[in-house]
Structure 1
Amino acid sequence: MSDLSLTVLGSATPYAEPGNPCSGYLVSSGETHVWLDAGPGTLAELRRHTGLDRLAAIWISHLHADHCADLLTAYYGALFADVELPAPIPLFGPPGIADRLAGFLTNGPSRSPVERAFAAQELSDGHRAEIGPMTFTAAAVEHRMPAFGVRIEAGVASLAYSGDSAPCPAVTSLAKNCDALLCEADGPAPSEAHHTPEDAGEAASGAGARRLIVTHVGPFLTPGDAVTRAAARFEGPVAYAAPGAVFHLP
């Protein structure tokens, strides 16, 4: 049996709030730590728990800034500060992630050496990666751009993460019989790019998830409203991904 824990670094959208960075999480099993999404403000919170040089990997669901912008400052930290990387940090993300970073970081005729900081591996539907005792399995989801949900397993423990997505079969499939579904509940009304709280509840119910954690709650909902609305469609326990919260699975 392996333990699996989820630490919420931030869950705000579309921009950080006082005391709550944008989307970012630390997923851990034993001494193996993976930074899951790197929204603005999450690097500082990550450092409360571990350092860039102790990360086993970074996993990015999609390339909207509220999920990946702290990779930019992580680059400077990894190469030009007090961090000594034993090797570039494995970076899993959508196609083109390394070039996207280089495009922002390059300020002269020579391309910024992002590969010195990050060993990028591009995700595809069904991509599977073994990271220490954890297995990460990606699935393409519906977000009007390349975006991936993920299922994370360690021993008997399992966590599914929707990333940003409209309701779609991939999210339900990733979450089948999982210990917890971490699902965005962005808006008060149906969308072609996001879940409502009701959608999140239905996804958890349809998947047979044991627990639902709503995250990425937009500015037109309160966390309490999101939990209440999701709970109307899911009979299991529902929690809000409050910054600093830690969930232990199973």
Structure 2
Amino acid sequence: MTDADLTLTVLGSATPYPAPDNPCSGYLLTAGGTRVWVDAGTGTLAELRRHVRLDELDAIWISHLHADHTADLLTAFYGALYADVRLPAPIPLYGPSGIADRLAGFLTNSSRRSPIEDAFAVEELHDGHEARVGGLTLTSRAVSHGMPAFALRAEAAGRALAYSGDTAPCAALTELADGCDLLLCEADSAEPVGGDERVHHTAGDAGDTARATGARRLLVTHVGPSLTPAEAQEHAVARYDGPVGYAAPRSVHTV
């Protein structure tokens, strides 16, 4: 592994609440010195700090506004403005519409709105949103989660990682992840939940999506309490012929 490699560090992969030694969803993407915090689930900020300070981040990218993907933005706000960090500028924050007001609604405790924009330079995502952050190109697509939610394709040095966020299987994710080197895909359950209103991948669905996209490798994440990581991998392997791994907390994966 070199500094130029596109690298994924798993900060946490638990859902819907953290487990001992496993925070909720959160990842650190690095490439050529660029550092992006992807999803900020409960407990991930402490793990992030093993690798990078808040004032060393180049950006934060958030898939959707459920707490198991965003809760640590609240404490990141305090860390960025009121602790040992001196930001050279607000941290670029890419997230669904309304993310700034959602944070302010929780953090504001007086007639004066908390200065969210002093900590985060918010840019709202839309379907097809593209951003260049240092050595990384970040492309977002709207996906099917019953609320504004996005999947991510991160590209650097000729390599591509796709991250499902939370979503039912959908064409937008399949298109976004087409031909990727690594697909990081949720495997929330063993069986479909929600009938016609599904909002998550099963572990088997993760295998189907990996196969449909031609992904070179699949990493299952967001494994819910109805199955173990080993079982999630077994379900995925039954429907995808490529290598399948698990996004274990603190694991590091070169794309």
Pair in the same fold by TM > 0.5: yes
The correspondence of residues 78-157 of structure 1 with structure 2, limited to 5 A, is: 78-157=80-159
Q: Cα deviation per residue 1:10-38 (whole Å; 9 max; x = unaligned)?
A: 00000000000000000000211000000
Contact 2:95 2:124 in 1 (8 A): yes
Q: Cα deviation per residue 1:223-250 (whole Å; 9 max; x = unaligned)?
A: 000001101111000000000010001x
The correspondence of residues 3-14 of structure 1 with structure 2, limited to 5 A, is: 3-14=5-16
Q: Cα deviation per residue 1:154-186 (whole Å; 9 max; x = unaligned)?
A: 021100000000010111111111000000000
Contact 2:206 2:236 in 1 (8 A): yes
Question: 1:32 and 2:34 equivalent?
Answer: yes
2:62 aligned residue = 60
Bigger drift between 111-120 and 187-196 goes to 187-196
The correspondence of residues 154-169 of structure 1 with structure 2, limited to 5 A, is: 154-169=156-171
What secondary structure, in the 3-state scheme, does the structure 1 residue paired with 2:35 have?
A: strand
* Structure 1 residue ranges (4+ consecutive) displaced by more than 4 angstroms after TM superposition: none
- Structure 2 residue ranges without an equivalent (≥5): none
TM-score if structure 1 supplies the norm length? 0.98
Pick one of 235, 243, 250 that aligns with 1:244. 250
What secondary structure, in the 3-state scheme, does the structure 2 residue paired with 1:213 have?
A: strand
Q: Matched residues in 1 for 2:173 and 2:227: separation?
A: 22
Q: Matched residues in 2 for 1:92 and 1:186: separation?
A: 24
Q: Matched residues in 2 for 1:92 and 1:216: separation?
A: 21
Q: Matched residues in 2 for 1:154 and 1:107: separation?
A: 41
Q: Matched residues in 2 for 1:189 and 1:140: separation?
A: 24
Give percent identity, aligned residues only.
Answer: 66
The one-letter amino acid of 1:122's match is E
Q: CA RMSD in A?
A: 0.9
